[in-house]
Amino acid sequence: LLIKEMQLLLAEPLPGMKTEPDESSAHYFHVVIAAPKVCFVIKIYHPNVEKLGRTFLLSVQALLSAPNADDSLANDTAEQWKTNETQAIERDRAWNRL
């Protein structure tokens, strides 16, 4: 599955995103996202979305700066945030330094 996804990203790059596989491991990618712009072509009836997408980007920024371990996609990471937030924050900082 990972190899197929990598091949798809290389064959059909996402707009505004540069993705390269890591040479040392097939499990890692180097991703650069250009300044994202969001514009909805249909009306979205949602309290956190306006037609130019600005509040959507603020929501992404807020999610990244204030993790919600109760609504997670990575269960192992969420569990660490719940049991030892200080250690989780330190691991986050260490990964960012790398």
pLDDT of residue 79: 92
For range 44-61, the mean pLDDT: 68
Domain region containing 92: 69-98
- Give which of 57, 65, 62, 72 is closest to 89, Cα–Cα: 65
17 within a domain of the structure (yes/no): no
Which tokens belong to 10?
């290389």
pLDDT of residue 87: 93
Q: How many domains does the chain have?
A: 1
Task: Provide the CB-side half-sphere exposure for 32 (13 A, CA).
Answer: 3
Rounded to two decimals, what is the model's pTM?
Answer: 0.44
Q: Provide the residue type at 23 as one letter.
A: E
59 within a domain of the structure (yes/no): no
78 within a domain of the structure (yes/no): yes
pLDDT tens per residue, range 14-41: 777 788 888 888 778 787 777 766 666 6
For range 47-74, the mean pLDDT: 75
7 within a domain of the structure (yes/no): no
